Structure 1
Amino acid sequence: MPFWDNARFLCVTLVVVGHGIQRLTADSDNALIVYLFIYAFHMPAFAIISGYFSRPGSPNARQMTRVITDIIVPYVIMESIWTLVQFLVEGKREFNPTQPSWTLWFLLALGIFRLVLPYLALLKYPLLIAVILSVGVGYLGNVDSTFSLSRAIGILPFFVLGWKLNEWGVVDRWRRVANGWWMRVLAVAVLGAWLAVVGGNINLWRAIDLRFWFFYDDSYSGLGEGEWWAGAVRLALIALAVLLTGAVFALIPRRETWITAFGTSTMYVYLLHSFILYPLRETGILKDEHTSAVWLLSVVFACVAISIALSAPIVRRVFRPIIEPKPRWLFADQTAFRTPPEGPPRETRTGPTARREP
């Protein structure tokens, strides 16, 4: 299913671009326009893809083992590396795994999603409940970024939506409808309209710090909007993210392209790109005089190149021990590491993208 691999690589590239231009947004309206355009949907799209390839049934030993090997162990390894890097660069002497460094919050969010999905699946209206939780958590100032809890609850509706899209078979029917040229024109119009809204009101968005609303990690009072209607803003942003994600998905190629193979390396790109961008962000070269449109385009193209480079097979071979560790010595039951026998074909084919979340 090359469509999903293409979608995953596009989303992770947008993540890299967003992180690359973040320091430019303080001094450049053009950079802030691109930043807000991307952040309105790129992590929700990731969560939708992750949910699409998730199963809500009671976890077996193999699935529980993968939560440890795919999420917890890589998180501890990467957090330890980040602690060392920050000590060497900034002199920080604190190792606090309860507060994830930079991009690592999504690993913990995936772990939370996997844990709660079987329980949500028991409920009659899981998607509605996920939306209520996302909107409601913003009113609770004591739910913060510890273990990424506030952010995980904030984007939970997108993960649940992805799972329900698979369960309802919506994507297969939608792909048949979306093949028409009119659907692509409509998708371009939707994205163009959002770009026009962002660009035409950039001073307003800067004044109210709209970008922080797209993080889903702070309470409404922490965002400066403690009024009762603040939840309606998050609800509107959730709807906007779904609309924009659908428009982007309508434009993604369904056939194999030159980027399809890169879609299986999204976790490597996601976890490793921050080590490349970190020195650039800390040296201050992405500020002040380096905020022209030419410099912005240069940073965007450089981020695309980083995504492609980190998708190379050699990167996977070198960094597999820390990104996809197999700590067999941790487990009493070694059968969880064995490849399960092939059974009859499933009704819904998940393809190679089911192996890893983005």
Structure 2
Amino acid sequence: MSRPATPAVARPAAGTRVPMWDNARFIAITLVVVGHAILKLIAESDTAYGVYLFVYAFHVPVFVAVAGYFAKANPPGVKQLKRIVTDLVLPYFIFEAIWSAIHSIRTGWLSVDFVSPSWTLWFLLALIVWRVTLPYLALLRFPFLISVAVSVACGYLPGVGGDFALNRTLALLPFFVLGWKLRQLPFTAIWLRASTRVVWVVRAGAIAIFGVLALVIALDVPLWRDLKVRRVLLYEQAYPEFGYDQWWAGALRLAAIALAVVLIVAFLTLVPRRTTWFSPLGRATMYVYLLHTFVLYPIRESGLLDGPQSDLLLVAMILLSVLIAIVLSQPIVRRIFRPLVEPRARWLFAER
């Protein structure tokens, strides 16, 4: 019997883009938009709450892991340090200033706060910390286990609050380290070379995993509300702040991390390996991340999503989210908003 043919997927050369990861980026950022778009619906709709839990079980961990996959653990040089400033620090101050202006106009009071990040801007601050600390973590023997211990431990410390997004930065650190570790392992090369038969067997298992997750959530949504599972999946607060002051409360975050790791791997196996129509869009995830809130904000503030809603509105918001992600990934959007999202700021740096 002849061996099954291996698909014509070549091992990527160093420095080349891998379509699978661009695909993963776009799907992950689309799920981020979906999660934000349906938030206002979950209070009145069990269906929306179930979809929200399903998405939040893995979408932020996936997004963080993909960011970690492209991170470098070698000591940063001048170029890398400049990129931290231009890609993260400056956009944070620019968009925080914009949101401060919006809040000031809306409330009628001048409000400027660069300590408490607005809405999605916590991710920029977290990326700064993760990128700076990764070279130190990489020196240790068990960086992933250490990051898990840090994540679980910080949940016992209410003093680790939301200032400069320190709570989420520490809580989500394991997924950034996991993404970096996936690049150290031959995960991508092995998966890209896998035969069609192997791929579909693995994908069938991944679909089963997501199917079980959806079924478990759907069986008793009121129970998950009562247990405050949503607050666990946000990785945002200390356990006592949402009602878990028992000594074993850390097991909740540990279970969430374990589930997310399984779902990250399952998600990556379901992502198309080859170039797709949305592969080029995966290069603009930061534009989608920073700009989609300005599209959703007026919808959320209009009252349209308040009160009891039909499931049709849930479907409409999900479809709108996909459309938003596609539109904000277009080259024209990138050209218009590049000075805000990717400011070059050569004037800021000293001559060397």
In 2, are the aligned partners of 1:178 and 1:250 still within 8 Å (CA)? no
After TM superposition, list the pairs within 5 Å mapping 1:111-150 onto structure 2: 111-150=128-167
Deviation string 1:6-34 (CA, Å, 9 cap, x unpaired) is: 10000000011110000000000111111
Cα distance in 2 between the residues matched to 1:91 and 1:200: 46
Structure 2 counterpart of 1:24: 41
Mapping of residues 1-358 of structure 1, within 5 Å = 1-177=18-194, 179=196, 180-289=199-308, 291-333=309-351
- Does structure 1 conserve the Cα–Cα contact (< 8 Å) formed by 2:103 and 2:111? no
C-alpha distance in structure 2 between counterparts of 1:94 and 1:38, whole Å: 33
Mapped partners of 2:70, 2:50: distance in 1:
32
CA contact (8 A) 1:178 1:184 kept: no
How far has the Cα of 1:92 moved from its partner? 4.4
Aligned alpha-carbon RMSD (Å): 1.2
Deviation at 1:269, TM superposition (A): 0.4
CA contact (8 A) 2:101 2:111 kept: no
Aligned-residue sequence identity (percent) comes to 49
1:178 Cα shift?
7.7
User: 325-334 or 271-280: which moved more?
Assistant: 325-334
Rounded to whole Å, the distance in 1 between the matches of 2:19 and 2:79 is 26
TM-score (norm 2): 0.92
Please state whether the residue corresponding to 1:59 is helix, strand or coil. Answer: coil
How far did 1:174 drift? 3.6
The one-letter amino acid of 1:27's match is E
What is the rounded CA distance, in whole Å, between the counterparts of 1:209 and 1:131 in structure 2? 21
Report if aligned partners of 2:34, 2:318 keep a CA contact under 8 Å in 1. yes
Question: How far does residue 208 in structure 1 lie from its aligned partner after superposition?
Answer: 2.2
- Partners of 2:341 and 2:200 lie apart in 1 by 40
- Unaligned regions of 5+ residues in structure 1, if any? 335-358
1:177 Cα deviation from its structure 2 partner: 4.2
CA–CA distance in structure 1, aligned partners of residues 188 and 257 of structure 2 = 19
Q: Deviations over 1:188-239 (max 9, x none)?
A: 1000000011111201111122111111111011121011111111111001
C-alpha separation in 1, matches of 2:93 and 2:65: 25
Rounded Cα–Cα distance in structure 2 between residues aligned with 1:183 and 1:27: 37
Comparing 131-140 with 242-251, which one deviates more in the overlay?
Answer: 242-251
On the 8 A contact 2:26/2:278 being kept in 1, the answer is yes
Mean Cα displacement is larger for which, 223-232 or 208-217? 208-217
Whole-Å separation in 2 of the counterparts to 1:267 and 1:307? 11
Q: Which whole-Å CA distance do the structure 1 matches of 2:157 and 2:94 have between them?
A: 31
SS at match of 1:259: coil
Deviations 1:19-51 (A, max 9, x none): 000000000011111100001111110111111
Q: Distance in 1 between matches of 2:182 and 2:94?
A: 33
Q: In 1, Cα distance between the equivalents of 2:44 and 2:109? A: 27
Cα deviations across residues 66-108 of structure 1 (Å, max 9, x unaligned)?
1100100000000000011112223342211110000000010
CA distance in 2 between partners of 1:98 and 1:252 (Å): 37
Query: Aligned to 1:98, what secondary structure does the other structure show?
Result: coil
